[in-house]
Structure 1
Amino acid sequence: MDLSAGYNVSVNSSDVLDARLQRLIWVVMNGLLTQGELSAVTAAYGVVFLVGVLGNLLVAVVVLKVPHMRSPTNYLLLNLSVADLLVLLVCMPVSLIETWVVFPWLLGKFMCYFSPYMEFVTFHASTLTIMVISVERFYVVCRPLHCRETLTGRFIAGVLAVLWPAAFITSLPVLFITQFRQIDSVGPDPLYTCETETDTFWAKVYLVSSAAVFYFLPIVLLSGCCLVISRHLNNPDVQPSVGQRAAVDNRIRSRKQVTYMLLAVAVLFFICLLPYRVTVLGFIYAPEEMLQLLGNKGVLILVIICRIMVYINSTVNPILYNTTSTNFRSAFKQAIGIKTGRKTRRGTAEAMRNTSNTHMRTHRRSTAISLYVR
Structure 2
Amino acid sequence: MRGRFSLEYIKIVSTVFCSIVFVVGVVGNVLVPVVILKNRDMRNSTNCFLINLSFADLLVLLICLPTVLVELHTSPDMWVLGYTMCKIVPYVEMSVVHASSLSLVVISLERYHVICRPLQAGYRCTKAKAITAIFIIWILAFISAGPTVLQVEFRYTTFHDGTVNPSCINTIESLWSKCYIVATSILFFFVPLLVLVGIYTVIARQLLVDTYDLTHNEENPQMRARRQVVIMLATVVLFFFLCLMPMRVFLLWILAVSTETIGSLGLEGFYNLLYFCRVMHHINSSINPILYNMTSTKFRTAFLRVFSKRQGRLYRQDTCSNTSYNNHTITNNLRLHYGTNCSMVYKTVYSKSVVSHQYSYTSTGSASSQFTRQSLVTSCGRNSTKDSYV
* TM-score class, shorter: 0.7 to 0.9
Residue 301 of structure 1 is matched in structure 2 by 272
Determine what percentage of the aligned residue pairs are the same residue: 38
Report the equivalent of 2:321.
none
| Equivalent in the alignment of 1:149 | 123
Question: Given the alignment, which residue of 118, 141, 144 partners 2:92?
Answer: 118
- The structure whose Rg is larger is 2
Alpha-carbon distance in structure 2 between the residues aligned to 1:31 and 1:114? 31
Q: Which structure 1 residue ranges, 5 or more long, are not aligned? A: 1-26, 345-374
Q: TM-score, normalised by structure 1?
A: 0.78
Residue 142 of structure 1 and its aligned partner are, at CA, apart by 0.2
Secondary structure of 2:264's counterpart equals: helix
Whole-Å Cα distance in 1 between the matches of residues 311 and 51 of structure 2? 23
Please tell me whether residue 63 in structure 1 is matched to residue 36 in structure 2.
Answer: yes
The CA distance in 2 between the partners of 1:295 and 1:260, in whole Å, is 42
CA contact (8 A) 2:152 2:171 kept: yes
* Residue 9 (structure 1) aligns with: none
Output the CA distance in 1 between the equivalents of 2:134 and 2:311. Answer: 32
Q: CA deviation at 1:285?
A: 1.3
Q: Which residue of 1 is the match for residue 24 of structure 2?
A: 51
> Which segment is superposed worse, 96-105 or 266-275?
96-105
Q: Is the counterpart of residue 205 in structure 1 residue 210 in structure 2? A: no
Measure, in 1, the Cα distance between the counterparts of 2:93 and 2:147.
13
Describe the superposition over 1:49-87 as per-residue Cα deviations: whole angstroms up to 9, x where unpaired. 100110111101111222221111111111011111111
Q: Which moved more, 1:116-125 or 1:95-104?
A: 95-104
Higher relative contact order (CA 8 A, sep 6+): 1
Contact 1:69-1:331 within 8 A present in 2 as well: no
Instruction: Please give the root-mean-square deviation of Cα atoms over the aligned residues, in Å.
Output: 2.6
Deviations 1:75-115 (A, max 9, x none): 11110111111111111111122222223211100011111
**After the TM superposition, which of the residue ranges 283-292 and 79-88 deviates more from structure 2?**
283-292
Distance across 1 between alignment mates of 2:192 and 2:14: 31
Aligned to 1:361: none
Partner Cα separation in structure 2 for residue 77 and residue 32 of structure 1: 42
Partner residue, 1:257: 228
Partner of 2:300: 329
Structure 2: distance between partners of 1:331 and 1:72 = 17
2:52 to 71, 74, 79: 79
**Distance in 2 of aligned mates of 1:340 and 1:127:** 39
Task: Please give the alpha-carbon distance, in whole angstroms, between the structure 2 residues aligned to 1:241 and 1:263.
Answer: 24
Q: Give 5+ residue unaligned stretches, structure 2.
A: 317-390
Q: Does the aligned pair in 1 maintain the 2:154–2:167 contact within 8 Å?
A: yes
Q: CA deviation at 1:190?
A: 5.6
Task: State the one-letter code of the partner of 2:134.
Answer: L
Give the conservation status (yes or no) of the 8 Å contact 1:32–1:297: no
- Secondary structure of 2:220's counterpart equals helix
State the distance in 1 between where 2:134 and 2:128 align. Answer: 10
Find 2:166's aligned residue among 192, 195, 203: 192
Match of 2:152 among 165, 178, 200: 178
Separation (CA, whole Å) in 2 of partners of 1:215 and 1:128:
9
- Conserved in 1, the CA contact under 8 Å of 2:77 and 2:167? yes
The 2-side partners of 1:212 and 1:37 are apart by: 31
Aligned pairs (5 A) from 1:1-374: 31=4, 33-101=6-74, 102-184=76-158, 191-236=165-210, 239=213, 245-246=217-218, 249-338=220-309
Deviates more, 1:120-129 or 1:38-47: 38-47
The CA distance in 2 between the partners of 1:292 and 1:217, in whole Å, is 31
Q: Is the 8 A contact 2:28 2:289 kept in 1?
A: yes
TM-score calculated relative to the size of structure 2: 0.75
Q: After TM superposition, which residue ranges in structure 1, 4 or more long, deviate above 3 angstroms?
A: 30-37, 237-242, 338-341
- Give the AA of the match of 1:207: I
Query: Counterparts of 1:277 and 1:79 in 2: how far apart (Å)?
Result: 23
Report SS of the residue matched to 1:199.
coil
Q: Residue 10 of structure 2 contacts residue 272 of structure 2 at CA under 8 Å; is this kept in 1?
A: no
> How many pairs were matched up?
310
8 Å CA contact retained: 1:66, 1:335: no
Note the alpha carbon deviations across 1:232-264, whole angstroms, 9 max, x for none: 00013995798xx54x72222211111111011
Compute the displacement of 1:31 (Å): 4.0
